[in-house]
Amino acid sequence: MSQNFPAEAYAPNGVLWWLLEYAPDTKRRYGAEPKIAAWLHFNKDVGETFTLRELRIAIPTDELANSQEHFNRRLRELRKLGWQFRSSHEDATLRQDEYRLAVKGWHPGDGPRPKTSGKISGALRRRVLERDGHRCVICGVANGEPYPDPPQGTAVMSIGHRIPQEFGGTDDIDNLQVECKRCNEPVREEAGLPETLDEVYAQIKGLKRTEKSTMLQWLRSGRRTRSKLDVLYDRARRLNPAEREQLAARLETATNQQVAEP
């Protein structure tokens, strides 16, 4: 590389931090997070822009070569280390695939990575899951259910933050909510899905009046409301397989009908 970098841009073995294959003095693969931090620190000034494509080119590894979402996730984690970025959602002058560097944080040339919190205890996780009915508060899907729309897949629940940690959000239960993995990850930004008010309303205005009324209630309450039947179904899903089969048998008797399994 023709560009000259200061000494702290290089690992102990003389290789630029973002080009390391293994962590210093180990056989462990060097992760994307410190590589991104190092590349941004030594190649971008505050106020300059970059794209995930730039990162993918600058940090060529087999693991990351075709994973834009992977880079996006690592960027989010850097915010816990003092980094701040602006996207097109916060800065209208940026393209959808651009970020602007606002504040630089830790990079491997500073020394060992600072320890960060972010671990939610099992007990707190269970409390949040019970409070939110084991369903994503954003899209309403339950753990293990298939998504009704593309991209297809099976939902897995995670615990998200109403106010992100990088913007001062805490791990208090009132700031936590159940989110499926798809809603928890910033995939919309990379997939180019509708984000503007006009684009979303263009799809909503064709709904029936009752559907619009339901949408309004959901928006005002901040989450999807569920019927008594929905709530009971959620409870039934948490029975063990034998109990669910017994419940289905009782319902077949009560309704005098049989429903074949899919």
Q: Give pLDDT tens digits for 5-32.
A: 999 999 999 999 999 988 988 888 888 8
Whether 219 shows a pLDDT value over 60: the answer reads: yes
Distance CA 70, CA 63 (A): 9
**pLDDT digit string, tens, across residues 125-174:** 999 998 888 888 888 888 888 887 666 678 889 888 877 665 566 788 88
pTM above 0.95, yes or no: no
Q: Between helices 68-78 and 32-43, what is the axis angle to 10°?
A: 70
The identity of residue 198, as a single letter, is D
CA angle 150, 152, 156 (to 5 degrees): 120
